[in-house]
Structure 1
Amino acid sequence: MLSVYEGFFSGGARIVHSDVVLGLREGGQHHRVLSIHGEVHREATRQRMEDDACYRALTGADVGVTSLGRTFGIGGTDPAAFSGPELADTARATADADVILSLKEQPLALLRQAGLPRRPVVVCLHRSDPENQGRALHDLKAGIADGTVAAAVCCAESTRAAYEAAGVPAALLQVIPNGVDLIRFRPDPARRLALRTALDVPAEAPVVVFAARYDGMKNVPLFLAAASAWLDAVPEGRVLMCGAGMSAANPGLAADIAEAFDGRDRSRGRLRLLGVRHDMETVYAAADVVSLTSSWGEAAPLCLIEGMMCGAVPVSTDVGDSAAIVAGHGLVTPPDPAAIAAAWSEAVANREAYAPALAASRERFSRTRMIASYAALVDRVYAGDALTVGSPEEG
């Protein structure tokens, strides 16, 4: 098996896919990873492949990871044009693979290049806005038309519906919902106390966590407007923001904060920027609420699932499958700061009442279930049963 990544950078899709690779390897499959970019500049952050937590997890498990060595975000490299040496490296990487997994559709511009070994490709789709990703949808349709793409995994029902509406054959689309490691992501009083102590957060203070990269789809200004209103109304409250670009070094975020808080330093002082964290199980365990304010593009947001499994009540706007994930476990809000702030307070007040539902939903979000579904799909593609993998009973 070979997985092809556009690059290693902070984001839920890379976390899920890397976990899938590790899980399939644990089940006996041999896996390698090829990354088109070795360094990515985005979200006001320089992200080197070797520094990435997913890269370290993969290589630590003896999964070979190589890169074409490109840098994303600097210069005007044509994403659809590849040099002779790059194609030679790709040919060597794909030569002994039986099946290729493409993390999202962007790597198809490489995998469809003439002269490469032909192997069945399973495209792993993690968004609900196929029309909003440049040439990626074109490459996906072209890959289906020329037989490169054998199947497509959708991490959410909203993904399946969006890609079917965009013209992708329904028979190729199979839904495999995201899952997480339930041993790692669980309520943990010791972790809760440890992080609160480290951040000087009182044990009884209500805490809201926002885990996202600094991107327009996440609607950071909306989150900050809600945070400003909530911190004004809840003097003991704390808000933690983490993810790529969620640091004081990001001038865009600094400007957003200045506008949202408008000089109210007392409230602003209870907002903490944590940047990229590799201990999200601890961050979520310390929280009472995990919030998402996205406006588009989301499918099955990992932050909501991980936070819920750690005992935080999810509060989200209605985007992608977020409402289905949150149903019965938390609150869905309109994209309005006052409504979001009120929902946070309601979630904090009713956190204990939500606990039984959160506990009962754990198997639904199990990593074990997710890995087993991916393994079954890969086996079917390898056996040549590509055009029936999207049957409803398997979604």
Structure 2
Amino acid sequence: MGARDVPDTATVSAVSSFIDFQNEIYLQGMGGTVPELPMTADGFADRARELLDARAYAYVAGSASTERTALANTSAFDRYRIVPRMLCGTSGPGARDTSVEVLGTKLAAPVLTSPVGVLELLHEKGEVVVARAAKELGVGTVVSTASSSTIEEVGEVAGDWWYQLYWPADDELARSFVERAQRAGAKAIVVTVDTPSLGWRPRDLELGHLPFLLGKGIANYLSDPVFRAKLPAPPEESEDALRIAILTWVGLFGNHTLRPADLARLREWTDLPIAVKGVLHPDDARLVVDAGADAVWVSNHGGRQVDNSIAALDALGSVVGAVGDRADVLFDSGVRSGSDVLVALALGAKAVGYGRPWAYALGIGGAVGVRHALRLLLADFDSAMGLSGCADLAGITRELLAVPR
């Protein structure tokens, strides 16, 4: 059976209780049907290593330099232990409330798909596939500027989605991206500030592979009127025209000149809520909230930017302490299980972003794979939450955690 031929045995018609997925699997097992897709984040990574093209796998798996930051992100969760409370009289499966509202967006669970670029490496129109899966499950999706599908293509199928802006070295182009996203139905703008340029990524370097230079992941640029006006000819006209467009992209991606005050210009372009993603230092969090950000997203880009950086989880508490009373605090980098979600929420995150596992699943099983990966995380979280004595998200507090000596 091929990587994209996994049968759809887990279609979700409506979300009643995420933990229902567990009974669904066991009931299918009574008939001799067992899951063909992995049941853990590590399982997805292992299967992807076997099945995906080497360049596609390296692009998703790779992190900065020695990859110590990526390892630190996951191992940071080992520094906390959940202390479940018993006999709390909490509601059982189907009655627990996992819902939350973040930046005016109502979600069935405090989970969003983190922005992952160049999904065409994994599946045709991957962003559209992911947006549909997130909508079906009632969770959020954050769509990257570096998409293989256009803003408008995603907007046609997505539910509650946010647009992630890589602010280019051209404000007119940045404004065009933001205005397109708002017209297409985005509910918030997420400005990623930790990528003014790409990090040092040996896995990609060993293969001499940067997908953007092959014209991949730049659909939003190629479809943008401001960008196209900079070109001598339409990029689809010839190979030479596309090559010129790619080189134009090279000169525009990233922006080392941005400062917190630039958020005021973004506010002039849109009335959508604004989150700033890639913040680790509490002083940076204060600066962007003072400048008008509605949310701070604690993240180190999954370890892809600065080697030996602080683990994102280790930065979460100080950022919450600095701005948590004035802005929503979001989190990603290292989430691999439902208990990880629980820990991040207990440390003050309003919601978490989930990235690599569903990206691997997209490459392995397409739409079925993405739904499966998201359902696993959501069911695991629902289970961990109930077994820890929490009837709703308000019950997930710092008191739920212990720090082993």
More strand by percentage: 1
* Higher-RCO chain (CA-CA 8 Å, sequence separation at least 6): 2
- TM-score when normalising by structure 1: 0.31
- TM-score when normalising by structure 2: 0.31
